[in-house]
Structure 1
Amino acid sequence: MRQQTALRLTLGLTRSIGFLELSNVELTQTLHEIASDNPWLMVQAARPAEFNSADAEDDGPSLISHILSQLPHLVPAPRDHAIAIALAEALDANGILTATTDAVARRTGVTRDRVNAVLDALRRIEPRGVFAHSLADCLGLQLAAVGALDAEMQSVLDRLDLLTQGGLEALAAETRLPLSRVASLVARLRELDPRPAARFSSQTSASRVADLTFTETTDGWQVALNPETTPRLSLATLGGSVPRGSRLSQERREANMLIAAIERRNKSMLDVGRVLAREQSGFLSDGVGSLRPLTKRAVALEIGLHESTVGRLVNAGSAATPHGTIPLTRFFSRAARRDPITDEPRFAAPAVGEMIARIVESESAEKPFSDTQIAERLSRHGITVSRRVVSNIRNRAGIDNRATRKRRR
């Protein structure tokens, strides 16, 4: 016989871990589902004071809330939700994307291919045409949804700008289609909706999807849970005594455990936010160029949590900053290189990527800089990295190589 100690995942612990992987918006939806089966639980999502509920009823749901409601179906992976939110924030009033995928990739700190994959998923949202790059792309998405986008229609969409410049005749000459055929295709386009997002209200700002808010004060940067998205749990008051061991007693115990789990989750989120406010104050004030190297392990050691716990909170969370609502993962970065003497991390990779982007913007269109030349210019700013490091950071930042930039220009 042998006596041993084992750690077992209880239902409550499993649920607490699951809460760490949810944003405030997703957490509110989950708590409402749980509360529907537990009479002791009362869930209240805060509503900002300046938001008039009567206006919301008159104007209907906002575009951002509509996108959030469809997000679990269109983009199932929670780690991609921050990218989807960044894309949603770049939409204009008509639902057209106003930012390039390269810009969104730099803002969210992911590759351009990953942004394009999330964008392709979002373009399936109803009404079709939202997340289009242009008016022609918007109309093309609507036609493709009903199987009406053929080669002739695509040729008309490709040169739709000629319609306002030279009329049907110029469009027919460019597409080499009969005038009557072009007229019928244009008539079909006029039946479509050029403003698919106009039906939604613009009352709710995109910043309401943030989990944390960073505010600059005289004492530095302060962090708080976003009151507009953080759900509040309380225990309902049910009349009469509750017999011990009854179903109501068990449900009350589960409700208390759930409230404690949410409080622990919120406290952990705030602890992470306070470290970020102190360590990345330069990033909050000046942007990516002032980002410092910071790892989740370092934050976990400081606040006394496991690295995986910090990882779950960071991967699901986002924050409202002076630079817009950004995922918490943007605050973390490994160093591009270490100090050869002290071995301390120096030069966060996104900060170097921002400097590379500025150098590329200033280069000659006829003679773009090579990676070696970019490394030389970085050294003038005190950033000494090798050509290979420049190449790796440039690729992660979504910046094309020298040959591609020259050919594109």
Structure 2
Amino acid sequence: MALGPRLDLRQSQSLVMTPQLQQAIRLLALSNLELEMFIGETLEANPLLELGEVRRDDAPEGEVEPLVREAGADSGDGEAALDLDESALDRDRDTGDEWSAASSGSGEEGPGIDERGATDGPTLAEHLHAQVGAAAGDGREEFVARAIIDQLDEAGYLTGTLAELADALGVPLAEAERAMAVVQSLDPTGVGARTLAECLALQAREADRYDPCMARLIDNLDLVARGDVARLKRMCEVDDEDFADMLAELRAYDPRPGLRFGGGGEAAVVPDILLRPAGGGWDIALNEATLPRLIVNRTYYLQLRQGGGKAAEAWLKEQLGEANWLLKALDQRARTILKVAAEIVKRQEGFFRRGVAELRPLTLRAVAEAIDLHESTVSRVTSNKYLACPRGTFELKYFFTSGVASSDGEGGASAEAVKAAIRALIAAEHPKAILSDDTLVDLLKDKGFDLARRTVAKYREALGIGSSVQRRRQKKLAGVG
């Protein structure tokens, strides 16, 4: 058989990720705060874009048209949703001159949820530095003490070892120990400790309760955690009444004294979506407080275009096209997020009205099929985005939970609802009748949850709740029952 070259024509299909499509995918996955940072960078790169004033609705107060009158009602035209797995974004974009969150929301200002963060009080380091000058004996001791303060973590514990710090400062260990004593004498009591036992011992000394019995109790915190009451009483040489007093005193101490000051807490979560009751339904809107309004300055465009030459005109045309496309992409992003949020509210309406016990199993695919979007698009929408409602602020991923079978065979229940039921049952158990996992299985079946014992144990452990034996020891330590 002879071999020779030949030409063949073949047809094939492939998805081309254009730069605009890649940018749109990135925009959809960003949270509102991340989007604000992206817009700031874009404003620096494109001279035709600028920030506009936040737009207010023309409707009188109290007459704002809710976006969703009924739970789950569509939040906008289906064609406006941004399904990034279609090729619609590959086409040229032609849009108006402005974009803002108000174009896709209710027009009301969002509540100041982001203002509920930490207070403006001093940090732990600032609080300690303000005291150390008066407590130190001389300038050298003050210098070492300030160095120790700078090595404390947010809870007030020393990171690293004192020997390493003394070596780094070039001072004798004994001098570092004296400076450490100065730090440990500051308010709040317990800062500067290297272990939990040392932190509690400092507070016991301050309360004049650090006798030999309390010292033995603090030195054996592992036995306290295990609930070995009989062994602890023998070691401390006390009776039941004295031992109960010692435990009560120990529980009154703060194991993390530094956290009462600023700088130790996490930043407050800023919601991307706001949900409010509106009549018999819901009002869903994007949080306008974190979404700046963009406008295209066409007057500036015309001024730059005059007398700039062909090269300048081509560059301006390119910048105008990018600006118009960005406005369109941002508007589509807003509509897509609201469309997904509306479907979530529709399917989880029981949770929003009655609590976690009504949370239903939900998957990304179910939402995607209901609103005619691709599953990956819904996944991007629900990533790193939070919804604020009267029950609190929740990540959108929270509403997508696995399901468990119901005892009546009709549908299923959310794993979160099962966890809530387990938590409620254990919280209500009698100290003298601790519920075993087998008993929990029977009680849950009465509530409509058909679960195996190992599943109940898994959910209980996920909640951080100990076994029946551990809970019985804890209640015994607490003097209950």
1:217 aligned to 2:278?
Answer: yes
1:267 aligned to 2:328?
Answer: no
* Greater C-alpha Rg: 2
State the one-letter code of the partner of 2:303: G
Equivalent residue in structure 1 for 2:19, among 11, 16, 30: 11
1:54 is aligned to none
2:38 is aligned to 30
1:156 is aligned to 198
* SS of residue matched to 2:289: coil
Q: How does 1:37-186 map to 2 (within 5 A)?
A: 37-43=45-51, 130=154, 138-140=155-157, 155-166=197-208, 174=215
1:296 aligned to 2:304?
Answer: no
How far apart are 1:266 and its partner, in Å? 0.8
CA–CA separation in structure 1 for the residues paired with 2:122 and 2:468: 34
Structure 2 vs 1, CA of residues 376 and 94 (structure 1 numbering), >3 Å: closer, same or farther? farther
Any conservation in 2 of the 1:206–1:325 contact (CA below 8 Å)? no
State the one-letter code of the partner of 2:444: L
Any conservation in 1 of the 2:408–2:448 contact (CA below 8 Å)? no
2:403 is aligned to 335
State the one-letter code of the partner of 2:452: S
Q: How does 1:187-206 map to 2 (within 5 A)?
A: 196-197=261-262, 206=268
Any conservation in 2 of the 1:28–1:231 contact (CA below 8 Å)? yes
Give the RMSD, CA atoms, in angstroms. Answer: 4.1
State the one-letter code of the partner of 2:329: A
Structure 2 vs 1, CA of residues 152 and 347 (structure 1 numbering), >3 Å: closer, same or farther? closer
Any conservation in 1 of the 2:351–2:359 contact (CA below 8 Å)? yes
CA–CA separation in structure 2 for the residues paired with 1:351 and 1:368: 22
How far apart are 1:397 and its partner, in Å? 3.4
Any conservation in 1 of the 2:407–2:448 contact (CA below 8 Å)? no
CA–CA separation in structure 2 for the residues paired with 1:43 and 1:355: 49
How far apart are 1:39 and its partner, in Å? 1.1
CA–CA separation in structure 2 for the residues paired with 1:254 and 1:318: 29
Any conservation in 2 of the 1:317–1:327 contact (CA below 8 Å)? yes
CA–CA separation in structure 1 for the residues paired with 2:281 and 2:359: 16
> Structure 2: which 5+ residue stretches go unaligned?
1-8, 57-112, 124-149, 166-179, 181-190, 218-256, 476-481
CA–CA separation in structure 1 for the residues paired with 2:439 and 2:198: 43
1:233 is aligned to 294
Equivalent residue in structure 2 for 1:285, among 333, 353, 357: 353
How far apart are 1:44 and its partner, in Å? 5.8
1:255 is aligned to 323
Any conservation in 1 of the 2:157–2:193 contact (CA below 8 Å)? no
CA–CA separation in structure 2 for the residues paired with 1:4 and 1:217: 51
State the one-letter code of the partner of 2:203: D
Equivalent residue in structure 2 for 1:316, among 384, 403, 420: 384
How far apart are 1:253 and its partner, in Å? 1.0
2:428 is aligned to 362
Q: Deviations over 1:70-124 (max 9, x none)?
A: xxxxxxxxxxxxxxxx9x979678699xxxxxxxxxxxxxxxxxxxxxxxxxxxx
How far apart are 1:199 and its partner, in Å? 12
1:401 aligned to 2:467?
Answer: yes
Equivalent residue in structure 1 for 2:441, among 347, 351, 375: 375
* SS of residue matched to 1:395: helix
The alignment-based identity, stated in percent, is 29
> Structure 1: which 5+ residue stretches go unaligned?
49-85, 97-125, 131-137, 177-191
How far apart are 1:195 and its partner, in Å? 5.3
When the two structures are aligned, how many residues end up with a matched partner?
Answer: 312
CA–CA separation in structure 2 for the residues paired with 1:199 and 1:347: 38
TM-score norm. by structure 1 comes to: 0.65
* SS of residue matched to 2:288: coil
Structure 2 vs 1, CA of residues 359 and 253 (structure 1 numbering), >3 Å: closer, same or farther? same
Any conservation in 1 of the 2:357–2:417 contact (CA below 8 Å)? yes
How far apart are 1:263 and its partner, in Å? 1.2
Q: Deviations over 1:46-84 (max 9, x none)?
A: 699xxxxxxxxxxxxxxxxxxxxxxxxxxxxxxxxxxxx
Any conservation in 2 of the 1:28–1:45 contact (CA below 8 Å)? no
Any conservation in 1 of the 2:273–2:284 contact (CA below 8 Å)? yes
